[in-house]
Structure 1
Amino acid sequence: MQSISCISKLLETAEFSLNIYFHVEVPVPTPKKDELLLKLEATSLNPLDWKIQKGVMRPFAPRKFPHIPGTDVAGEVVEVGPGVKSFKAGDKVVAFLTIAGGSGLAEFAVCKEKLTVARPAEVSAAEAAGLPIAGVTAYQVLTQSAGIKLDGSGRQVNILITAASGGVGHYAVQLAKLGNTHVTATCGARNIELVKSLGADEVLDYKTPEGAALKSPSGRKYDFAIHCAIGGIPWSTFEPNLSEKGKVFDLSPNASSMATFALKKITFSKKQLMPVFANVKSENLDHLVKLVKEGKLKTVIDSKHSLSKAEDAWAKSIDGHATGKIIVEPF
């Protein structure tokens, strides 16, 4: 039998909705065509997980109830379904499970071959599990949205990264510094030295007047701002700090930021706010795993929790002050 933690069962009436979490035993899933069955070693949590709980992704996710959360996993292949060619039993891998299906907070999970990549011995399960959503989001916003070349070529640009000690932010700082960039970062006072150690050139305490105003200590204007924080900073704060054609990439767009996006578009403003929605791709994930293996990227682990205490990890994620990634291990 499979031991699964934190199943969310949404009960609805006309007046309210209620989420209940409990631990259950269910049958080990069977891989279908082009799927793998994994014995999980680590699962990382993302804000997306509790946003699904709060109904933000409805009616698209969850696909059905009860729902087992968790999309970013690392583990060992124990069985392959028909048509699988790239993996065999015993292989160590990292995978992204579908947002609608989840299933990462468990001892076993089924994943798609096309969303799975090999994990070398030099990369631990916990390090790898942090990469799919957070790492790929940072990678895509830098390389695709901002056009940063991670081989260090290209013109130098000034980048602002907010919430730089968080899940996406701590990867974004490291990846940005692989390119020809000057990075200004914001975070809480307790994480300033950590963010500096990740490569940031300037670090601001977001609670100070200078940090709240997002002003570069060296007086630089930002070509790109990667807004990793969940809300809280209006366009009027970003705008005076941007270069002539500066862009803000908002990773958690809300109604206000979408309105600003539309306004800047229709008025042909040189300064733009762009909503960004990442799409996890195996080639991006594989690149990140290789960078970890080479020592060019690391996963900062905030805390590790056993599957039996997954609700503690969940509460810590909702609190929103984790440093790096929160990891759940099934033992």
Structure 2
Amino acid sequence: MDNETQGGPDPAAPAAAHGRSATARPVRLPETPAVLALRHAVRDWLVRFRPAGSTVAVALSGGADSLALTAAAVAEAATVDALVVDHRLQAGSEEVAATAAATARALGCRSVRVLPVEVNGPGGMEAAARTARYDALGRARGELPVLLGHTLDDQAETVLLGLGRGSGARSIQGMAPFDEPWGRPLLNVRRQTTRQFCADLGLVPYEDPHNLSPEFTRVRLRTEVLPLLEDVLGGSAAVALSRTAELLREDNAALDEFAAELLVRAEFGGAGLSCAVLAGAAPAVRRRTVRAWLLARGVRVVTGAHLRAVDDLVVAWRGQGGVAVSGGERGTRLVVVREHGRLTLARATG
């Protein structure tokens, strides 16, 4: 069950420190370079994505990034609701969540909710924790966007993870500043800046031991790979990776628009997609069109191998059989086939 607390105004409350008494009055922030950098980042995000209102929720873990984001959001937004997810993966996690909640109240959040979750499911602990966290935040946010404390350094790590998957431009475009309902105002802010922000305010961030555990790929990227790249490339690797992600998001958005137009033309005239119309398009646009068509029809995952095989049905047709893709009800599978010059999706048993 969620634990909800409300903070009441206390004009006599001192500047916030970790775990001080609750107050709804926002603390006065010092005008240090780190504080100004975060305030400008949050302000720019609000102007860009919340012109009709500036009430937001913030996902607060108690770490430096989310603490700094919460304080900056309270200073820039009209009202802020803090959502603290307790993954319950370590002894004492309840106390960590309670301390983060107390800090949120001291910083001036309108309300604070602690969200205990159960972490289980496929993909290992890291993936299961992420799923549980986002599910809890999604249920608790109401109609508000949820601000997340992902920084430029997190973006660089995400791009490297995508490169390792080797699944194309979409996998290395990184995280978007706003992917409804998730907002990321700090994607151009370095992790060291959020730490300095906390130091400037006297906040003591929680140091999650999982963030130093080498069993997680992202941790090894953070502690081994990126420092080496920064050394080899003269300290510019994380910034360059983040810039690459931003450029790729712009390119992907344009290609998605072209693919949407092609899909309309390819679907005209009958069931499925016209191979003649698809064949006349650039490969990148054609494959995006097929991918969108498959996802819209219940295919759960579209891999690069799927797209290459389906593309061969269009441009390298030799009478070959259909291409099995994921999806379908139990006991059946979905198969893309070419019939009478059109791609259709059929169900096969077995």
State whether TM-score is above 0.5: no
- When the two structures are superposed, what TM-score results if normalisation uses the length of structure 1? 0.30
**Greater Rg, structure 1 or structure 2?**
2
What TM-score results when the alignment is normalised by the length of structure 2?
0.29
Structure holding more strand per residue: 1
Which structure has more relative contact order (CA 8 Å, sep 6+)? It is 1
